[in-house]
């Protein structure tokens, strides 16, 4: 089956595009799928850092596009997951080094050999963003529950619709449950009401993400992390599984819920 090309984008910077790309890709690869990630953030690359593959870069995306190496030579295989590959961005060039049609050609070359191609889009709405969405079969918009991030997500969704890429899916990242409960943070419902697209995942704020990013080990591979579980759920939903949105139930609540259910069953 030819690969599905998925672009992760946000408009605003710093909302978690790269983290999400690394983790969803890692989660899918850990389930045995053949996955390749492309860092389209030329000039400001960091997907390699998050995946912990920084020191193994020899060739990059621009080298492939400009014909200095073959596609296979620029693909770095992950140490932990044999089915996960990265095509890094060039750090010493800028977005104009690659055109949208280059990206389409590159992805067409990858399609027969993989199940998933993930593209990490740069922030903004200019050339880099156009490059990233040009080959996409599916776009994922990621946002934080903050007014500024949601506003930019809305703009990006408008641009994706104008490109006739089909409706994007939404991930809401870094939700702080305590703040939502106190009414100090936008809730997932508030964000969904404004953006009006289908939800793909809810990711709770989790310090493990920062630790794992610094170490270069995707949090999705950590069985105990809540954010990791949320990313694994997203991977499952992309595979077509029907997974309920329970990411935000706090641990205690779900434990008590389980206990009550257990007791009820025991009593009945």
Partner 1 sequence: MIRVKGIREGLLFLLEEGNWEENRRYLLKLVEEREAFWRGAQVALDSRSVVLCEEEILALKDYLSQRGLTLWAVLSDSPSTQLAAQKLGLATRLNRPPKDKVPSLSTIVHDGEEALLINKTLRSGYRVEYAGHVVVLGDVNPGAEIIASGSIMVWGRLRGVAHAGAEGNTQAIVCALDLQPTQLRIAGQIALTPQRKGKPQPEVVRLQNGQLVAQPWNAKDR
Where on the chain is the footprint of partner 1 (CB under 8 A)? Answer: 99, 151-152, 154-155, 157-159, 161-162, 194, 196
The sheet that has 169-175: what strands, in order across it? 76-77, 84-87, 35-39, 116-120, 4-9, 138-143, 169-175, 198-204
> Residue 74 Cβ, how far from partner 1 at the closest point, in Å?
24
Would you call 237 exposed, middle or buried from its count of C-beta atoms within 10 A (0-12, 13-18, 19+)?
A: middle
- What single string gives the DSSP state of each residue in 32-54? T--EEEEE--TTS--HHHHTT-G
For partner 1, give the closer residue by CB, 146 or 154. Answer: 154
For partner 1, give the closer residue by CB, 158 or 257. Answer: 158
For partner 1, give the closer residue by CB, 99 or 187. Answer: 99
For partner 1, give the closer residue by CB, 45 or 95. Answer: 95
> Residue 69 Cβ, how far from partner 1 at the closest point, in Å?
24
For partner 1, give the closer residue by CB, 23 or 144. Answer: 144
Instruction: Give the C-alpha separation, 22 to 86, whole Å.
Output: 10
> Residue 93 Cβ, how far from partner 1 at the closest point, in Å?
17
Nearest Cα to 42, choosing from 84, 3, 99?
99
Neighbour count for residue 56 (Cβ, 10 Å)? 14
> Residue 193 Cβ, how far from partner 1 at the closest point, in Å?
9
> Residue 172 Cβ, how far from partner 1 at the closest point, in Å?
17
For partner 1, give the closer residue by CB, 12 or 226. Answer: 12
> Residue 151 Cβ, how far from partner 1 at the closest point, in Å?
5
Helices and strands (H, E) in the chain, number of each type = 12, 8
Nearest Cα to 140, choosing from 231, 208, 64, 77?
231
């Amino acid at each position: 089956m030819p690969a599905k090309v998925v672009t992760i984008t946000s408009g605003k910077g710093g909302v978690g595009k790269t983290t999400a790309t690394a983790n969803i890709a890692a989660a899918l690869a850990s389930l045995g799928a053949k996955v390749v990630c492309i860092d389209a953030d030329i000039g400001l690359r960091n997907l390699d850092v998050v995946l912990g593959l920084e020191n193994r870069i020899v060739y990059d995306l621009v080298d492939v596009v400009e014909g200095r190496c073959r596609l296979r030579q620029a693909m770095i295989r992950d140490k932990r997951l044999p089915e996960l590959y990265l095509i890094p961005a060039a750090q010493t060039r800028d977005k104009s080094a690659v055109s949208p049609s280059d990206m389409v050609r590159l992805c067409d070359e990858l399609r027969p050999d993989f199940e998933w191609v993930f593209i990490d889009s740069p922030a903004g709405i200019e050339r880099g963003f156009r490059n990233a969405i040009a080959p996409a079969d599916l776009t994922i918009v990621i946002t934080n529950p903050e007014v500024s991030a949601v506003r930019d997500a809305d703009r990006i969704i408008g641009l994706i619709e104008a490109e006739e890429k089909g409706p994007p899916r939404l991930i809401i990242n870094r939700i702080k449950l305590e703040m939502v409960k106190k009414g100090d943070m936008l809730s997932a419902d508030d964000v969904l009401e404004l953006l009006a697209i289908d939800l793909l995942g809810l990711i709770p704020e989790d310090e493990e993400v920062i630790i794992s990013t610094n170490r270069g080990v995707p949090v999705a591979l950590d069985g105990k992390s809540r954010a990791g579980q949320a990313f694994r759920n997203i991977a499952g939903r992309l595979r077509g599984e029907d997974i309920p949105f329970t990411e935000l139930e706090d641990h205690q609540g779900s434990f008590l819920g389980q206990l009550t259910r257990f007791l009820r069953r025991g009593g009945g």
